[in-house]
Amino acid sequence: MRNLYISKLWIWERRIIMDLIGIELEHAIEIIKDNVPKKSKAYELSLWDANKRILAEDIYSPIDNPPFDKSPLDGFALRSQDLKGASKANPIRISVVDVIYAGHYSLKELKAGQAARIMTGAPIPSGADCVIRLEDVEEEDGFIIVSKELKHHDNYCFKGEDVIKGTHILSKGEKITYIEQGILASLGIDRVKVYDKPRLALLVTGDELVAPGKELALGKIYDSNLTLLYSRLSELGFEPVIADYLPDNPSLAADKLKEVCKKADIIVTTGGVSVGDKDILHEVLPLMGAKRLFWRVNLKPGTPAMFATYEDRVMFHLSGNPFAAVTTFELLVRPYLAKVSKDKDLDLNRKKAILDNDFTKESKGRRFIRARETDGTVTIPQVSKHASGILSSMIGCNCLIDIPAGSPKLAKGTEVEIIYL
């Protein structure tokens, strides 16, 4: 019974101020992005480990590529002047003095009347200025018989033809995929400078939560938030350094959060942000000396989302309802991750799409619903229940529909704005 009447008053108080301080999503994102550290750290790592990382340097080619004049085909390297006047009627006989395989080179300088058998990619020997195709000659015991003229530099690849040393190859801020890795490797580059990845901590609060695999006592339910957000962060390339439960006691929770802030740059919590008397984050933030920058965003689900800073750390406190948690994670945490890691692919990606079925609720406030977009049309999963706790309806969804405040029911065929997950 302790605190019962006090807490009710406190709840009313909060309910009154609530509407005043709820902010628009766009404003929330501005505040969030303003708290990205101005300076980005970068470090060098092996090219092999750089997949999906963001380049922190401009890359210029350290070599000419190809690094030497080479043959583009299998044939014979020779001197074009030796073939002057060659024709079917006047075949010219050239002595084959060497064989050059790719990866090797010839020490001989070709003199008048001499050729070298050469393989695709092998360096053109000195003295030669063109290559004749294997198919275009007759071979005869150490000689070739050539019945056509060749021009200077026929079938001849020049050093630096693909890339000249010093050419600008990739820019700071570009994302490294396997293609960029292949390009860098082809220039001999095996280490690159990339931006640091922030370290994330994930903490879930709620006295009723039990970790999957453990036994359920009466009143307890299984927690899905830790698994959900851990997996989502991993999918986005940010495996949390800490994933744990937060005690339900404000002072213990504040101590734990302060500890976690030593090891992580970004802290994401779920639960404890609503207006009940177990919604401890309201007490935890002042206790630890964190600065709350906003509480409540004008959208559903996940209205009571909170954002705070503690020293140079940022803390996202999301609603404990799993669907609300994953929705506000996408809407609030991703834009921060995009900016701090300089990865534009993580930012909110909006597009127009045409509704493929009816949405039969009016939306007094702004609302985000899960859906699946295919080729410009978007389908809302038809499930018996649309309660926000039900994750099953999210299976196969790839976007959120952003339904503005004050929208009527939406009929099939309506153009809506979606955000890709």
Of residues 189-248, which lie at the interface with a copy of itself (CB under 8 A)? 189-191, 206-214, 216, 218-232, 234-235, 248
The rounded distance, in Å, linking the Cα atoms of 363 and 244 is 36
Nearer to a copy of itself, 24 or 58 (CB): 58
Nearer to a copy of itself, 133 or 151 (CB): 133
* Closest among 187, 194, 267 to 229, alpha carbons compared: 267
Of 40, 80, 120, 357, which one interacts with a copy of itself (CB under 8 A)? 120
Nearer to a copy of itself, 198 or 272 (CB): 272
CA atoms within 13 A on the CB side of 1: 0
* Closest among 66, 71, 91 to 133, alpha carbons compared: 71
Of 10, 60, 105, 158, which one interacts with a copy of itself (CB under 8 A)? 105
Of 18, 36, 134, 252, which one interacts with a copy of itself (CB under 8 A)? 134
Q: Min. distance of Cβ 274 from a copy of itself in angstroms?
A: 8
Of residues 246-305, which lie at the interface with a copy of itself (CB under 8 A)? 248, 276-278
Instruction: State yes or no: residue 178 binds a copy of itself (CB under 8 A).
Output: yes
The rounded distance, in Å, linking the Cα atoms of 410 and 380 is 11
Q: Min. distance of Cβ 217 from a copy of itself in angstroms?
A: 8
Of residues 70-99, which lie at the interface with a copy of itself (CB under 8 A)? 74, 96, 98-99
The rounded distance, in Å, linking the Cα atoms of 210 and 372 is 31
Q: Min. distance of Cβ 175 from a copy of itself in angstroms?
A: 10
CA atoms within 13 A on the CB side of 123: 16
Of residues 383-412, which lie at the interface with a copy of itself (CB under 8 A)? 385, 387, 389-392, 394-395, 397
Nearer to a copy of itself, 89 or 216 (CB): 216
Angle, helices 334-341 vs 25-34, to 10°: value is 30
Q: Min. distance of Cβ 192 from a copy of itself in angstroms?
A: 11
Of residues 29-68, which lie at the interface with a copy of itself (CB under 8 A)? 47-48, 51-52, 63, 65-68
Q: CA triplet 251, 252, 254: central angle to 5 degrees?
A: 65
Burial class (CB in 10 A: 0-12, 13-18, 19+), 90: exposed
Q: Min. distance of Cβ 254 from a copy of itself in angstroms?
A: 20
* Residues 32 and 318: beta-carbon distance below 8 Å: no
Q: What is the DSSP letter of 354?
A: E
Q: Min. distance of Cβ 291 from a copy of itself in angstroms?
A: 28
Q: CA triplet 230, 234, 236: central angle to 5 degrees?
A: 120
Nearer to a copy of itself, 189 or 355 (CB): 189
